[in-house]
Amino acid sequence: MRGADLLVQTLAAAGVTRIFSLSGNQIMPVYDACLDAGIKITHVRHEAAAVFMADAWAQLTGKLGVALVTAAPGFANAVGALYTAMGSESPVLLLSGDSPVAQDGMGAFQELDQLAVSRALTKRGFRPISADVIGEEAALAIKVATSGRPGPVHMALPFDVLNADTAEPLPVPEAYVRTRHPLCAKSAASIAAAIADADRPVIITGPALNRTRAGDLIVDLQSLTGAPVLSLESPRGLGDPSLGNLKGAFAKADLIVSLGKAIDFTIGFGGTAFEPSAKWMVVDADADALDRARKNLGDKLQYAIIADPDDAAETIANQTGHGDHSDWRKTVADHVQHRASAKPVSGITAEDVAASIQKHMDANTVAIIDGGECGQWAQAGINAPARLINGPAGAIGGCLCYAVAAKQARPDSQVIAVMGDGTAGFHFAEFETAVRENAPLVVVIANDGRWNAEHEIQLRDYGPNRMIGCELSDARYDQAVAGLGGHGEYVTDKADLDAAIARALASGKTACVNVQIEGQPAPNAGSH
């Protein structure tokens, strides 16, 4: 068999059933191999979209997400989305075509040191130099992506290696299975005892341990320890609109247990936002993250332990002798549920859009939220059983890509996405992908005709006479989607909003609800 066959069969053996890809000459052997392995290909319209889709797939399935793009320019298009996957701690494997090994250094067509380019945006990079090692290196890439702190891995695929014959067998299952780092019973007991003894403990988790990805584990952790559990996955951290007045709660906490949450800028480096005498315990699979915790927390850090956060959560929850923190949990819940209200305006607001979408949530809905100011209102106002946002990286643009992958990852779920008109411009062509893939989903575009976050910064910092470069048109995105074969709705009156979303859901098509809104500052205005 060819190197391409060994690669694809290794992916299939590891549980890969779908690859998100944009075609190109150098990766045609992989396409051909997918036919025999039964791996489906979702063919996208931009390489970055493939990575965004792989990211969403990983978050919603708990399995590896795989993106496949062609060499140099295709790879370069894909690279930016790796930053988002890294921030979201998503196990993603980016496969890219590459020039032949036999032509290295000769000026081959689209020759590029791809690993040098991707190094800062991935956990590790691979470039197999023979067909005999391609399966082994693919298995290792999968193990690296899924082990420790999950994240993206890149594998460049030389064209001659893909086409070369090999008799090597598939890697053994152990070669690609996640390496686990359990929390020892002694450490779990110490942390559980500290939680029980504290008056106002809080457990914080990173994006890989949120409600969408960890499910009942988070519920059990809170129930069994008695301590409030808060997942931090927004670049705004303490200003996360989903978490209301989180700063007010943290200012009172006397113990913070971090399970995989980086001690970084999102929580003010563990500094003045917290009670100065509060003690910290940090569990992380990444040794570098523990070094950063030591640097930022100093004497406040009581424990810094290497372990997988999900394993740690389960082990801590199963300890006995938990305390009663019911009053404190209610206090934290009151802080978290606090919501600012938009100033009254004559038109529709992003807050109105979020409230209308919330009415259409059911027990099986996946909500996708992206964008600047409108995205913050949506994060504050939309609560869904499963929810994807643009993550700690703070990049916008992936919303529609996430929605397409969400519908394929959970075909029986209702998928509703909301984004601003700025966000809509990044990957609008993926509406064609969604229609072609027969993906019934609803995308609500909150359209204020501008880059509102930047508009608000200019207005606040420079004044109304210094506005430049933030205007957009009143484009009829709904008509464009209808022209692509989807369903379009156009809303200019608040009274029509609920019915328009209902019709979009009932259409059974890829649908766009284009809502003309009045741009307003985000709930936490001043933090962008």
Number of residues in the chain? 528
User: Going along 130-259, which residue ranges are E strands?
Assistant: 153-158, 201-205, 229-231, 255-259
For residues 18 and 6, give the distance between their C-alpha atoms in angstroms, rounded to a whole number. 17
d(CA 249, CA 336): 8
- Pairwise CA distance, residues 138 & 445, whole Å: 39
Digit-coded pLDDT (tens) for 471-495: 899 999 999 999 999 999 999 999 9
pLDDT value at residue 342: 66
Q: Tens digit of pLDDT for each residue in 227-236?
A: 999 999 888 8
Give the per-residue pLDDT at 528: 38
pLDDT in tens, 90-143: 999 999 999 999 998 999 899 999 999 999 999 999 999 999 999 999 999 999
Residue 341 has pLDDT above 80, yes or no: no
| pTM beyond 0.75 | yes
Report yes or no: 273 and 249 within 8 Å, Cβ to Cβ.
no
Q: 442 and 505 in contact (C-beta within 8 Å)?
A: yes
Backbone φ and ψ for 463, nearest 5 degrees, come out as 100, 165
* Nearest residue to 387 (alpha-carbon basis) of 377, 378, 396: 378
pLDDT of residue 526: 43
Task: Answer yes or no: CATH 3.40.50.970 is held by domain 3-175.
Answer: yes
At 459, the amino acid letter reads L
Q: Which residues contact residue 336 at a Cβ distance below 8 angstroms, ignoring those fewer than 6 apart?
A: 230, 243, 244, 245, 246, 249
Angle (deg, nearest 10), helices 185-197 and 216-225: 60
Residue 376 has pLDDT above 90, yes or no: no
Q: What is the pLDDT of residue 160?
A: 96
CATH number for the domain formed by residue range(s) 350-516:
3.40.50.970
Numbers of helices and strands, H then E, in the chain? 22, 17
Q: How many CB atoms lie within 10 A of CB 293?
A: 26
- Segment 506-519, tens digit of pLDDT: 999 999 999 999 88
**What does the block give as tokens for 218?**
């988070």
Delimit the domains of the chain by residue range.
3-175, 185-337, 350-516
Helix segments in 216-280, DSSP class H: 216-225, 246-250
Task: State residue 456's pLDDT score.
Answer: 85
Decide whether 3-175 matches 350-516 in CATH topology: yes
Higher pLDDT, 24 or 326: 24
Q: How far is CA 316 from CA 226, 282, 311, in A?
A: 12, 13, 9
Mean per-residue pLDDT, 489-504: 97
Report yes or no: 392 and 87 within 8 Å, Cβ to Cβ.
Answer: yes
Listed in sequence order, the residues at least 6 apart from 524 whose beta carbon sits closer than 8 Å to its beta carbon are: 236, 239, 241, 340, 376
State in words which class domain 185-337 has. Answer: alpha beta
